[in-house]
Chains A and B, each alone.
Chain A
Amino acid sequence: MAVLDILVFGGLLGAVYALLSLGFSLSYGVARILNLAHGSFFMVGGYLYYIFLVLSGINAVLSLMLSVVLMFCLGVAFYLGVVRPVRSSPVRVLLITLSAAVVAQELVSLAFGQVNVGVPYIAAGISSPLGVIVENQRILAAAVSVAMFLAVWAFIRMTKFGRAVRAVAQDGDAASLMGINDTRISLVTLGLSAATAGLAGVLLGPLTGVAPNAWLNATVVAFAVVILGGLGSIPGTFLAAFVVSYSQIIVAFEISSSYEIIVPLAVIAVAVLVRPKGLLGKVEE
């Protein structure tokens, strides 16, 4: 039975990880911004949902949509106010996004306390796919994640804007020579980044509770997934998300759940040493 448990839980978690990491793939792979606060988008998304749903009594679906839209705006504001001024120096970007993550954690902590905050499920009840007992919320989270992931991917592949994004990812200098506006691309990239990570936070929120320090684990996972999947490859991100989720689930089941955070780090280590370009990577690090 344990095998089926792992299969189902790992798969459902992987879908959400894919959504979470998609934004990081965009900001790191495209805009070349190593945003240590990426996990903060995840964390804040969950809290926004809590504010709308629990504190303001707005219905679940509307709360979700409001949270996502607000996260998009937050991502844009983050890029303009925090990242863009220091973009020329990767060290400063690293420092400032780290401090932003810490600031976000502390602000949330001061406002809501340090402990997990409970959020009601969108989808109630349980099901048993493959005979494994699973909350419907988990299934919903995975389904929505996959849908959003595909939507964003389609956007990148098929629209003119999406092509511009890929051009910048391939060669930023050449792209700007061709008149592609890097600021607009980066703006939207960070906005999408925040929105998708925030959505992942909303979806997982009811299952894990929202806590101020959730950003670290989320950032590390996203980083691992993107590196393993290969910079600049969205399908790679999708695949790698499952590798990471299954590894984490297996470790949690077989060894101990407190070692979960080490798994993505180990994944990074292995990926970097064995195959630096990642599973499907197109861009050399």
Chain B
Amino acid sequence: MALRMSRLLVAGIALALALLLIPAVYPDSFTLTILTFANIFAVVAVSWDFFTGFTGRFNFGQALFFGAGAYALGFMNLNLGANPLLAVPLAGAVAVVIGVAFGFPTLRLKGPYFALATLIFPLIAGDLTFSLSSVFGGEHGLYGLTSFSDSFVVQYYGSLLLMLATVLVLLYLTSSRLGLALESIRDDEKAASATGMNVTKYKLTAYMISAFFTGMAGAYQAQLFKFVGPDTFSSTISFEIIAMTIVGGIATIVGPVLGAYLLIIVLDGLGISSDVSVLTYGILLMIIVLVFPGGLLGRLKTNLRGMRIRRLLEEKPDAT
């Protein structure tokens, strides 16, 4: 059954505090970089969860938004001299636009067709960076970007802020009317439209929100590495964040954070090669789907539901 809200709150605050204090305990650049990485991917996983977990539409190409945001920041930084910090949300907006360009015509398609299309989108985007290599650097990508700080500690806190902001905003949204509407779409689109809901509009909204946060994550990574390359569109990223989310718990918003931390700290922390890494993601995903489909934090779904019902029922009546 669900975990008690008070205990969850305490756990949450304790975790947040722990994360805030990490640099004091582990000030070495290796640890901080791994954790920064974990935060970045947590954002991508959480935003994926927001769309796929709540609308039930499978997006197999989340990397589209990631790469779009990364390249957007790279472009703005190099050509417009944009301040890397300010450029992050702007890059998120660009990712939304690009996402809509791909998503708008395809969101109306039935499940498997949409899923297949999303698989291909990042490939197309990657191809475009190759063909427009004068602008996007082709296979070499964009070099010499400026970051907003060279301190590992500051970068860590920046990523932590981004991650916490993403989680809080999306938790708020999923425990609101929007979340309820999305879940009804997931459960039965036809029935949802029979309640007067414009299903396509809601799906598009969720898609855009997902694109925004993931785009910011991509942009953040770009300024962190001071570099962006075509591998920001790679299907490996798309796949890994799916694994992180499923392992952590789909449709829980918080689960993907756990999944991201777990997988990145263990795999990158141990310095495991990328092939074995991806292999591990794959095997883990298979095991979880077979045995534990709700994911490690699956019980939190019930808590989310309770939170949402309470909020909706406590809404003040409309004033006349």
Q: Given the complex of chains A and B, what is the CA–CA distance between A23 and B275 in angstroms?
A: 29
Q: Number of contact residues on B: which range applies?
A: 20 to 34
Q: A102-B278, A110-B279, A285-B110 are in contact. Are A96 and B117 (CB under 8 A)?
A: no
Contact B120 A92 (CB under 8 A): no
Q: Does A94 contact B (CB under 8 A)?
A: yes
- For residue B123, CB closer than 8 A to chain A, the reply is yes
Task: Tell me the interface secondary structure of chain A in the complex.
Answer: helix
A261 contacts B123, C-beta separation under 8 Å: yes
A223 to B116, CA, bound (A): 9
Contacts of B243 in A (CB 8 A): 99
The smallest beta-carbon distance between B301 and chain A, in angstroms, is 15
Asked if B137 is at the interface (CB within 8 A of a chain A CB), the reply is no
Q: Which residue of A lies closest to B284 (CB)?
A: A99
The segment from B10-18, B76-84, B200-208, B285-293 that touches chain A is B285-293
Q: Is there a chain A Cβ closer than 8 Å to B109's Cβ?
A: yes
Are B113 and A99 within 8 A (Cβ)? no
B276 contacts A by Cβ under 8 Å: yes
The answer to whether the Cβ of A3 comes within 8 Å of any Cβ in the partner chain is: no
Determine which of A86, A102, A110 lies in contact with B276 in the assembled complex, contact meaning CB atoms within 8 Å.
Answer: A110
Once A34-B112, A220-B119, A285-B110 are accepted as A-B contacts, the answer to whether A107 and B279 lie under 8 Å apart by CB is yes
B212 at interface by CB-CB < 8 Å: no
Known pairs A86-B290, A268-B116; A99 contacts B110 (CB<8 A):
no
Residues of B contacting A: mostly:
helix
Contact with A along B80-120 (1 / 0, CB 8 A): 00000000000000000000000000100111110111011
Contact across chains for A265 and B116 when beta carbons are under 8 A apart: yes
Q: Are A92 and B289 in contact (CB under 8 A)?
A: yes
Contact mask A74-113 → B, CB, 8 Å, 1/0? 0000000010011001111011101110110011011000
Interface size grouping (class) on chain A? 20 to 34
Are A265 and B120 closer than 8 Å at their CB atoms?
Answer: yes
**A109 surroundings in chain B (CB, below 8 A):** 275
Given contacts A258-B127, A262-B124, contact A100 B286 (CB under 8 A): yes
Chain B residues positioned under 8 Å from A265 (CB to CB):
116-117, 120
Q: Does B112 contact A96, Cβ atoms closer than 8 Å?
A: no
Q: Can you list, as one digit per residue, whether each of B231-258 has a CB less than 8 Å from chain A (1) or not (0)? A: 0000100010011001000000000000
Distance between Cα atoms of A96 and B127 in the complex (Å): 28
Min CB distance B99 to A, Å, is 17
The reply to whether the CB of B50 lies closer than 8 angstroms to some CB of chain A is no
User: Chain B residues with Cβ under 8 A from A106's Cβ?
Assistant: 275-276, 278-279, 282
Residues of B with C-beta under 8 A to A96: 285-286, 289-290
Does A272 sit within 8 A of B, measured CB to CB? yes
For residue A152, give the distance in angstroms from its CB to the closest CB of chain B: 24
Q: Which residues of A contact B278 (CB under 8 A)?
A: 102, 106
Closest chain A residue to B283, Cβ basis = A103
Choose one: B110, B120, B239; the contact of A102 (CB below 8 Å).
Answer: B239
**B123 to A, closest residue via Cβ:** A261
Q: How far is the CA of A235 from the CA of B239 in the complex (A)?
A: 35
Task: Indicate whether A94 sits within 8 Å of B119 (C-beta atoms), given known contacts A99-B285, A110-B279.
Answer: no
List 8 A-B residue pairs with CB atoms under 8 Å apart, sorted by A's residue number: A82-B286, A94-B112, A95-B289, A96-B285, A98-B60, A102-B239, A110-B275, A268-B113
Question: Does A13 touch B at the CB level, under 8 Å?
Answer: no
Report how far A103 CA is from B284 CA in the complex, Å. Answer: 10
Which residues does chain B contribute within 8 Å of A90, judged by CB atoms?
111
Chain A residue nearest in CB terms to B58: A94
A269: interface (CB < 8 Å): yes
The residue in chain A whose Cβ has the minimal distance to the Cβ of B291 is A85
> Which residues of chain B (36-68) have a CB below 8 Å from chain A?
56, 58, 60
Given contacts A102-B279, A259-B127, 8 further A-B contacts (CB under 8 A): A86-B289, A92-B293, A96-B289, A98-B242, A99-B283, A102-B281, A268-B113, A269-B109
**A99 adjacent to B286 (CB under 8 Å):** yes
